[in-house]
Structure 1
Amino acid sequence: MNEFIAGLPKCELHLHIEGTLEPSLKAELARRNKLDLEFRSYEFDDLTSFLAVYYEGMQVLRTEPDFYDLAMGYLRKAASQNVRYAEIFFDPQAHTSRGVPFSVVIGGLRRALLDAEKQLGVRAQLIMCFLRDFQAEYAMATLLESLPYKEWIIGVGLDSDEKGNPPAKFAAVYERARQEGYLLTMHCDVDQDNSIEHIRQAIQDIGVDRIDHGVNILEDQKLVEEILAKGIGLTCCPISNGVVTDSMKAEGIRKLLDLGVRVTINSDDPAYFPGYVQENLAALNLSREELLQVERNAFEIAWLPRHVKDAYLAELESYGAA
């Protein structure tokens, strides 16, 4: 089974590039940028304590080569695990808020994506996330700042601390993003306050194209039926679930899969939890057919042209048949 998972053509749709900052690269970038910083270890037990460590680590990211090296590090790992396509979250506000220009962030990431496709055979696109614990006005300003780079960004997302920051807070930002041609996704983290109401807002009020995490949707059968009817997929991350909540939510993920929901398996912040996509797939003890279905789901809900999806799906079916 481990060999089967290793060879499986994979699609990753929930990956924060800042969450791939391995301790060794963090130390290297600190030296490069002449930063004398005392970093706490990657230890936490809930979403809030994770975010404190997560944002602290970003201080080493200062220059375009830093962001290039960060992204290339992930993409090399992805290639080693046979990830064929990835959609990568980045958090510009986490950098612009400390004085790093937007152009520096996206310039380094974009160059890495181009090099990875040529050198590694991994195709990737960028999703710009807004930090929900900042003001909606800051999110709108960030959206406007992104427009000169619109051809480099496939969609927008919403992440960070969900408590007290419902989707409705960003309704106007998302409406403008839709007008600008961005596709829409949004974190509905596991076991948060008002989880079901936040999922409802994301689906019905905002009109997202997919939901990141979202396992709590099982608490409302009508919402499950609605995402089935609309074909909305969920980008689940079992290992990170098991760190910031009481379990990986494996039973819920399997139930959603059995119901026909387009569930996908992803790594979230693999340097911190830890575990890249291959380890997340292995953690659930799925059958071969379930693993194939998870990857079918991922390629189907990926933000790609139909003919590109079909080519990846054909590769997947060929692997399954063999």
Structure 2
Amino acid sequence: MHDTCPFNPFVERIRIQEKIDAGEKTSALLSSLGDCKRKTPPLARTIIISTLKNQKKPVPEAFIEGIPKAELHIHIEGSLEPELMFEFARRNGLRLPFTSVDEVREAYEFADLQSFLQLYYQGVRVLVNERDFYDLTCAYLKKARSQNIRYSEMFFDPQAHTGRGIAFDTVIGGIHHAMLDAKQRLGISSKLVMCFLRDLSEESAIATLQQALPFKDWIVAVGLDSSEVGHPPEKFTKVFDKAREEGFLTVAHAGEEGPPEYVWQALDRLKVSRIDHGVRCIEDPDLTARLAADGIPLTVCPLSNVKLRVFESVEQHNLKQLLDHGLCVTINSDDPAYFGGYLTENFLAVQKALRLDRHDIYCLVRNSFQAAFLSPDEKQTFLDELDNYISQNQDK
């Protein structure tokens, strides 16, 4: 007995495409594959992609809200909502320079990245003990699950806390235990990326890496964030080399406010697996071609880019241009409490402003799972869930 599908998949692709062109529904075509759908997933995916490309239906908000998502660029400290800020300040006996939640939100008007960072670092001062970091992380993961985020890779900035006397194990302990509880109670998977603050010295970054080594199993990668201009990636070559020697994956913020040269440095000097932001790569055709050819993912944050004046409006964002150049673009929220939107709000904003179709949305979500620091089997599980969602909702 042969464990194979009783048809030639190449011939079947032609037959399927003819049916797609004739307007047959996606769900019916997938059902016709039966067990062979599981044995030849590329064929099932061909049906989905071909149908999406041919479809001209509008994209309802419910389609975006319900689609299973991954988020790869979220700063956990940047999910500190004003209500939590006041709660943490109260229980830790701290005074804030604001009298109300509304006053805090009114302060969220930024001229650039630096003006945001000033408020960001002011906010993190209310994070004092392990419970604070636990509650902060739980709040984000609960919000993420409500938006059907199935997997998240969260950044954290230990130097923003150890520099004011908070122990490293206090920071990571609260975050890690919240991640474990969210997995058990909410079914959301997550991993942690430790970022070095680029406006501090490489020596400080190396000391932070040493502090992280006892918790190596809790951290999947190291990254580079904070004030970009004037702090090129090559400044941190040694610490990134050491991190890779210890088994960490690497990512870096580059090409947000900084020039395309910073992206080149992140690729060639830091040898990163992903570029966080990277939107200015489009200014350098050779760099754009390199990113496309090597399949280097970009974790793009549209609402953040507008809030920090990288683009004047979502309509002017170059996300669609990046996609059209064949780049592996993903959508993310960055610091959602400060920028007025979590992941779903970012998807809704770019879909409306850039007139993205269902195929665009599918590709962006699929890119996120493909770019995640997951095993092939873990990725396939999430991709199957995505494809099942598309097949069940394609005709609505």
Deviation at 1:249, TM superposition (A): 7.2
| Alignment check: 8 A CA contact 2:109 2:307 kept | no
CA–CA distance in 1 between the matches of 2:339 and 2:208? Answer: 28
Q: Give the alignment partner of residue 14 of structure 1, picking from 57, 73, 76.
A: 73
Which stretch shows the higher mean deviation, 215-224 or 271-280?
215-224
Query: What RMSD, in angstroms, separates the aligned Cα atoms of the two structures?
Result: 1.1
Quote the Cα distance in structure 2 between the aligned partners of 1:244 and 1:62.
28
Residue 131 (str. 1) matches residue 197 (str. 2): yes
Asked if the contact 1:238–1:250 (Cα under 8 Å) also holds between the matched residues in 2, the reply is no
Does residue 218 of structure 1 match 2:282? yes
Return the match for 2:260 from 174, 183, 196.
196
**TM-aligned CA deviation for residue 228 of structure 1:** 1.8
Aligned partners of 1:2, 1:89: CA distance in 2, in Å? 28
Tell me the distance in 1 between the aligned counterparts of 2:252 and 2:95: 36
Instruction: With the length of structure 1 as denominator, give the TM-score of the two structures.
Output: 0.97
1:1-322 to structure 2, matched below 5 A, reads 1-39=60-98, 41-192=107-258, 195-245=259-309, 246-248=312-314, 251-285=317-351, 286-322=356-392
Aligned residues: 320
CA displacement at 1:36 relative to structure 2: 2.0
Other structure's SS at 1:15 match = strand
Q: Is residue 88–residue 127 contact of structure 1 (8 Å, CA) maintained in 2?
A: yes
Q: Which moved more, 1:135-144 or 1:200-209?
A: 200-209
The one-letter amino acid paired with 2:265 is: Q
Per-residue CA deviations over 1:160-215 (Å, capped at 9, x if unaligned) read: 001211000000010001111111100014233xx111011111222110000001
Aligned equivalents of 1:196 and 1:137: distance in 2? Answer: 26
CA distance in 2, matches of 1:256, 1:37: 41
- Bigger radius of gyration: 2
SS in 1 for 2:72: strand
User: 8 Å contact 2:255–2:281 — kept in the other structure?
Assistant: no
Is this contact kept in 1: 2:255–2:263, CA < 8 A? no
How far residue 252 of structure 1 moved from its aligned partner, in angstroms, is 1.6
Runs of 5+ consecutive residues of structure 1 not aligned to the other structure: none
| Aligned AA (1:135) | S
Distance verdict in 2 for CA 1:208–1:255, change over 3 Å: same
Tell me if the contact between 2:306 and 2:313 (Cα under 8 Å) persists in the aligned partners. yes
Asked whether the 8 Å contact 1:250–1:284 carries over to 2, the reply is no
1:249 to 1:262, Cα distance in 2 relative to 1, 3 A = farther
User: 8 Å contact 1:188–1:211 — kept in the other structure?
Assistant: yes
TM-score (structure 2 length as normaliser): 0.79
